[in-house]
Amino acid sequence: MAGRSLGDRQRSEYPVKALAGRAAEVLARCGLLTALEAADRGTDRVRVVAYHRVDEYDAEPDLDPGLISASPADFRDQMEAIAHHYTAISIEQLAAAHRGETPLPPRAVLLTFDDGYQDFEAQAWPILRELGLPAVLFVPTSFPDVAGPGFWWDRLHAALMRTDEPRLDDPIVGRIELEGHEARRGAHRILRTHAKSMPHAEAMAWLDGLIEGLAEVPSLHRVLGWDALRRLASEGLSVCSHGSIHALCTRLSKEDLSVDLVESKLRIEAELGAAAPPAVIAYPASASNSTVREAVREAGYEMAFGGRRGIDHMPLDDPFEIMRLPVHRYGTALFRAQLRPVVSGLGRVLIDGRERRRA
Ligand SMILES: [Zn+2]
């Protein structure tokens, strides 16, 4: 829409987050955040920060902009805050603490990135390396080096933005108007939510037909290849599982889930060899339940990262549902504020109530 930047749209779409951001800026300006951080000597908590993409908001208009967690400039600010006020730990350190071998350092933060997009290497990793911060990249392991069409949420976004159709008539979701950018983003939200409620194969077939009916979409495959992942691993990155086909674990049959989990674990071990980190997984789209957690344990994983917002204590309540702190284009003050336990608890109520869980 003319005259309204993407940032403006974000602010109006998420008023609670905008308000929280302003409150956090006040806390930062009066020095309270720094004081809280300096006073925190606890070694019993682990903050797991969850990013998806780090890129300029208009870098790739065909890709779903909802997956951009931070611009490179905001990301640098956030990582400098981590370097100054917290201790970034590796997945090996978390695994050792979980096994009771070595306690965590005070103010421990684990930095994680989902989906394995190329912008991780281009934008995030140079900043992490410069600041000496370890990180974990969760990769859906059937995607690297496959000349596929890309992730469904990106293809759906591109189809909705490119289509000449004024509305969508679908036997499953009914009629959805497509006039204007906000209506099309609204359509993406509705279709995305519905797709995530269906068995995986059924959802993919439905989306393929829907996308084909809307517009021609070029390949949007942007996942790093294994050579790049090995290079990053040799530079210190931990490359871990995000499932194999990025299916929601709750939307696969028991047999298919087991195959997906085992294949993904074996693929990482085969591709990375001695550089393979401890076997951990981040659930695609944060979807899990007790059956999924049991399947993950049976497949030989040691820990799994879920979607509940919050900060876990050591020893971990449930190593197969470790809480994370998602970043959704936060200013640095709000980013720092949510690393405080009281604020992250509030965020679970206020922000997660408004923002749907993402991929
Ligand atoms: Zn994902």
What ranges do the domains of the chain cover? 6-147+223-350, 152-214
Work out the percent of the chain whose per-residue pLDDT is above 90. Answer: 79
| pLDDT for residue 351 is more than 70 | no
Residue 293 Cα to ligand 1 midpoint, Å, equals: 17
| pLDDT for residue 118 is more than 70 | yes
Q: Residue 8: its pLDDT value, please?
A: 47
Name the DSSP class of 271: H
Name the more confident of 340 and 265.
Answer: 265
Cα dist from 11 to 47, 188, 328, 330, whole Å: 26, 18, 11, 11
Mean pLDDT of the residues in the chain = 91
Residue 349 Cα to ligand 1 midpoint, Å, equals: 23
Residue 286 Cα to ligand 1 midpoint, Å, equals: 8
Judged by average pLDDT, the poorest of 5-14, 81-90, 139-148, 260-269 is 5-14
Annotation: CATH topology of 6-147+223-350: TIM Barrel (3.20.20)
Residue 49 Cα to ligand 1 midpoint, Å, equals: 14
Q: Residue 11: its pLDDT value, please?
A: 47
Residue 69 Cα to ligand 1 midpoint, Å, equals: 12
Residue 120 Cα to ligand 1 midpoint, Å, equals: 13
| pLDDT for residue 160 is more than 60 | yes
Residue 148 Cα to ligand 1 midpoint, Å, equals: 16
Contact predicate 103/358, CB 8 Å? no
Residue 113 Cα to ligand 1 midpoint, Å, equals: 9
Residue 19 Cα to ligand 1 midpoint, Å, equals: 28
**φ, ψ dihedrals at 160, nearest 5°:** -70, -35
Give the SS3 label for residue 43. coil
Over range 211-222, report the average pLDDT: 97
| pLDDT for residue 270 is more than 70 | yes
| pLDDT for residue 3 is more than 60 | no
| pLDDT for residue 6 is more than 50 | no
